[in-house]
Structure 1
Amino acid sequence: MKKAKIKHVLLCLLAVVIALVWVFPIIYMIVSSFKAEVDVVVPGFIFSPTLENYKTVLSDTFFQYLGNSVMITLGTVILTVLLAVPAGYALVFTPLKNPNNVYFWFVSTTFLPAIAVIIPVYLIFQRIGLVDNPLALVILYCGAGVPLMVWLVTNFFKEVPLEIVEAAELDGCNRLQAFSKIMLPLVRNGIFSAALLVFIITWNEFFFAVTITYTEAATLPVYMSKYMTQQGYFWGKMCATGTLICIIPIILGFFTQKALVKGLTSGSVKG
């Protein structure tokens, strides 16, 4: 019993240490956001707190970029769910000739690095007049989010016994009714967790946003980069911006952690 208790205590201490190491950069960013620029240069936790960084960030065009981020992220998540969930259902329960080939095609598109397509993508959007347009980012992010979500929701659908679909068909449900009334409630936690992952990835994306946009459609990560100037890096203001950017995903994750854990671990279905 003593050995088991000692092992339990050691595992708890190890978990605490790993958690502290994991969250230390976030804690340091939040602390640095209340420092003057001079104090940020010298690492330390002893300083005179100030709100100047937040006043500067919030008095600028922050809310314009915030609106762009919210609009683009929500649009991407909604469109990704509408496209990816039926696709995942079709890959599992629709008699396709080569469903594994289609599934691999979806998954393989996530392997393509963004830098490999940025030039043709920019030229195409420039030709059709979508540069610095929120629609351009929604299209790009859906192109990245749909394969990721298809990959995830397909695994959730595979955990649902085929007998459930067959029973629904025997009761008179067609494919669409079985999908909307039977399957969606069973895998809703999995869909939610996948959608939340797409939300976080889209919310934090920087490379396409800084390349395709200028001012009208730029998002919060692009806004933060404006404090990286030729005169130097304004670390305090970047930390304040980074803290504000993190607030929404943290709050969203905190209130949805139960559904997120269920979806990521077992898809909420036990076969």
Structure 2
Amino acid sequence: MTAPTVPAAPAPRAARPGTVPLAAKRAARRSAALGLLAWVAGLGFCLPAMWMLLTSLHSEADAATNPPSLTAPLTLDSYREFFGAGSGASPWPPLINSLGASVFSTLLVLVLALPAAYALSIRRVRKWTNVMFFFLSTKMLPVVAGLLPVYLFAKNVGMLDNIWLLVLLYTSMNLPIAVWMMQSFLADVPVSIIEAAQVDGARLPTVLLRVVVPVAGPGIAATALICFIFSWNELLFARVLTGVVAQTAPVFLTGFVTSQGLFLAQLCAASVVVSLPVLAAGYAAQDKLVQGLSLGAVK
């Protein structure tokens, strides 16, 4: 007696040449939708800056119209007024003060943060997690809470309206952030190459400059850029502790809001000029910034 035969399952039909599977079509549509959403979000973030640039190219009368006119004639009068000291003061001293305070404080932060991050990531000290949380706790105090003690100290030591006071303040403000960032970057540096350099007789300064800095260069560049941006944009301390000699660019911008009214076109032109150093630094270091911020994301 023979066993009953079971009919074989039909073979799946092969896809016709040139056809795309349904799952691939859905994935392509999802990717296109996410890409469109990313473009819309990016344009939304860039729209205020584009509007500021357009307003800076209008005259004061056209900039003050409500609703604003997109077809108003373009002019460079606001930039001529800005660089020609139309507001009553030259913009160059505040710009130079901001650049000096930002650059010097950033360099000082890197010099202090690199050995600290090395001790907290590669050659870890005892209770290094407590040290990290101590650095983080220094950022929990509101800046305005320490404004009066800093002002009284600067007044007693005769450092009011002094650019070096801003350098010290910006260094102390950015140092905890720099240590936190560089600690995570230096944790990815292979210990084997450091030990190989030490076997060859390299001391700590040589190890830091010749081994650690080249390997963690993108992370250090990202840290420097962020510290530079924070220093350049700081307003509260600069507004209270400076006057004429050490006035910075953000403080200079507040001079365009006067009792006579708001000079909107000149304010937008000044804002564009003040924003250019940060934009230029970010554009020049964009590849290093992306590499540095992505360090440690993939193991």
User: Smaller-chain TM-score range?
Assistant: over 0.9
Q: Does residue 145 of the first structure (1) align with residue 145 of the second (2)?
A: no
Query: Aligned pairs, how many?
Result: 270
Q: Does residue 40 of the first structure (1) align with residue 63 of the second (2)?
A: yes
Which residue does 2:154 correspond to in 1? 125
Which residue does 1:101 correspond to in 2? 130
Of 89, 99, 102 in structure 2, the residue corresponding to residue 70 of structure 1 is 99
Q: Does residue 16 of the first structure (1) align with residue 31 of the second (2)?
A: no
Indicate the SS of the match to 1:130.
coil
Deviations 1:65-84 (A, max 9, x none): 11111111111111111111
Q: TM-score, normalised by structure 2?
A: 0.86
Q: Which runs of no fewer than 5 residues in structure 1 stay unpaired?
A: none
Letter in 2 for 1:25: P
In the alignment, the residues of structure 2 paired with residue 79 and residue 174 of structure 1 have an alpha-carbon distance, to the nearest angstrom, of 22
Structure with greater proportional helix content: 1
Q: TM-score, normalised by structure 1?
A: 0.94
Of 160, 163, 170 in structure 2, the residue corresponding to residue 134 of structure 1 is 163
The range that moved more, 70-79 or 3-12, is: 3-12
Q: Alpha carbons of 1:262 and 1:238: their partners in 2 closer, same or farther (altered >3 Å)?
A: same
Of 210, 213, 217 in structure 2, the residue corresponding to residue 188 of structure 1 is 217
Q: Which runs of no fewer than 5 residues in structure 2 stay unpaired?
A: 1-23
1:88 CA drift (Å): 0.8
Which residue does 2:275 correspond to in 1? 246
Q: Does residue 211 of the first structure (1) align with residue 234 of the second (2)?
A: no
Deviations 1:177-220 (A, max 9, x none): 32222211110110011001111111111111111101110111
Letter in 2 for 1:107: L
1:93 CA drift (Å): 2.8
Q: Does residue 49 of the first structure (1) align with residue 98 of the second (2)?
A: no
Indicate the SS of the match to 2:166.
helix
Indicate the SS of the match to 2:139.
helix
1:270 CA drift (Å): 7.0
Deviations 1:3-49 (A, max 9, x none): 22222221121111001100001001000111122222322312121
Indicate the SS of the match to 1:48.
coil
- Aligned-pair RMSD on alpha carbons? 1.7
In terms of Rg, which structure is larger? 2
Letter in 1 for 2:51: Y
Q: Alpha carbons of 1:262 and 1:185: their partners in 2 closer, same or farther (altered >3 Å)?
A: same
